[in-house]
Amino acid sequence: MSLAAPSQALFGDEEARKAIVDLRDQVAQLQKDHAARIDELSQRMDRIDTILQAIQRGQLEAGGQFDQLHQELAKLRGLIEQVANDVATLQKRNRDLYSDLDARIKKLEPTSVTVEGKSVQVERDEQAAYESAMASFKANDFRTAVGALSAFLARYPQSPHASAAQFWLGSSYYAIKDYRSAIAAQQALIDHFPDSPRAADALLNIAASQIELNDKKSARATLSKIVTDFPDSDAAKLAKERLSSLGPK
């Protein structure tokens, strides 16, 4: 029985999962076969021991046969030791194989995370990509964050992290003073995720970008929308303050 397995297969589908199970079954069968061989050899040793005991009890005239049986017994013992060593080696390979396969499977299994107060399942690669992008943002490496967050949204548009990624993308654009892109990114958040808890803050970021572009008229409209649509939010308080600072129309 061969240990060959479709290791080149993609481990992201049911066929690959079946291959993993089949491979484990092969290893288990090999262990079973070796165990059966050891049991058979042990039985042969028992039979030889019985013969030896009979010779020792009164049939020493067997002479040459007695010596031959001793030699055979020694050979069998050596064979058992060899097979036992083979099994130990196989068991180590088995443990290493399980460890590798388990690691592969864990990469496929989703992880539980909390997003906007809710526990959701997220693929591990997806979670890692989001965390990597956010690490760049938190390190104030906003240009890298722009690239990473854009790539994340392109690859995982339906991710539970998508609305947050969209918001931080807009914030990253604002940080590098790309105000038009910041407005576009935050507007995408509002358009695609109108119920996002960051919607008011996204509008606030849009207004800030509009002010930087000296588009005070649009900024007033955006700030007024925050006050109207999100009257009890912290963003509304800031919007009122900024409206006052902008002065009369």
pLDDT in tens, 98-154: 776 666 666 666 777 778 878 888 888 899 999 999 999 999 999 999 999 999 999
6-14 contact pairs (CB < 8 A, 24+):
11/104, 11/105, 11/107, 11/108, 12/108
pLDDT at 51: 66
Q: Give the span between the Cα atoms of 178 and 180, in whole angstroms.
A: 6
One-character DSSP codes across 64-126: HHHHHHHHHHHHHHHHHHHHHHHHHHHHHHHHHHHHHHHHHHHHHS-EEEEETTEEEEE-HHH
Quote the crossing angle between the two packed helices 142-155 and 162-175, to the nearest 10°: 150
% of the chain with per-residue pLDDT over 90: 47
Which comes out higher in pLDDT, residue 205 or 21? 205
Q: Let me know: does 172 contact 146? Beta carbons within 8 Å.
A: yes
Label residue 93 by pLDDT band (50, 70, 90). confident
Q: Where are the domains of the chain?
A: 14-108, 115-246
The answer, yes or no, to whether residue 202 has pLDDT greater than 50, is yes
Cα-based angle 32, 38, 41 (whole degrees, multiple of 5): 140
């090999």: which residue's tokens? 30
The HSE-up count of residue 174 (CA atoms within 13 Å, CB side) is: 23
Cα→Cα distances 6→17, 41, 212, Å: 11, 34, 58
């060959």: which residue's tokens? 4
Q: Which of 21-35, 78-92, 107-121, 219-233 has the lowest mean pLDDT?
A: 21-35
% of the chain with per-residue pLDDT over 70: 71
Find how far residue 148's CA is from the centre of its chain. Answer: 18
Q: Let me know: does 205 contact 170? Beta carbons within 8 Å.
A: yes
Q: Give the amino acid at 41.
A: L
Q: Which of 19-28, 161-170, 172-181, 200-209 has the lowest mean pLDDT?
A: 19-28
Is the domain covering 115-246 a CATH 3.40.50.80 domain? no
Mean pLDDT estimate for the chain: 81
pLDDT at 82: 74
One-character DSSP codes across 12-80: TSHHHHHHHHHHHHHHHHHHHHHHHHHHHHHHHHHHHHHHHHHHHHH-GGGTHHHHHHHHHHHHHHHHH
Q: Let me know: does 223 contact 205? Beta carbons within 8 Å.
A: no
The Cβ of residue 38 has, within 10 Å, a number of other Cβ atoms equal to 16
Q: Let me know: does 185 contact 166? Beta carbons within 8 Å.
A: yes
pLDDT in tens, 56-80: 666 555 555 667 667 767 777 777 7
Q: Let me know: does 235 contact 203? Beta carbons within 8 Å.
A: yes
Q: Let me know: does 27 contact 51? Beta carbons within 8 Å.
A: no
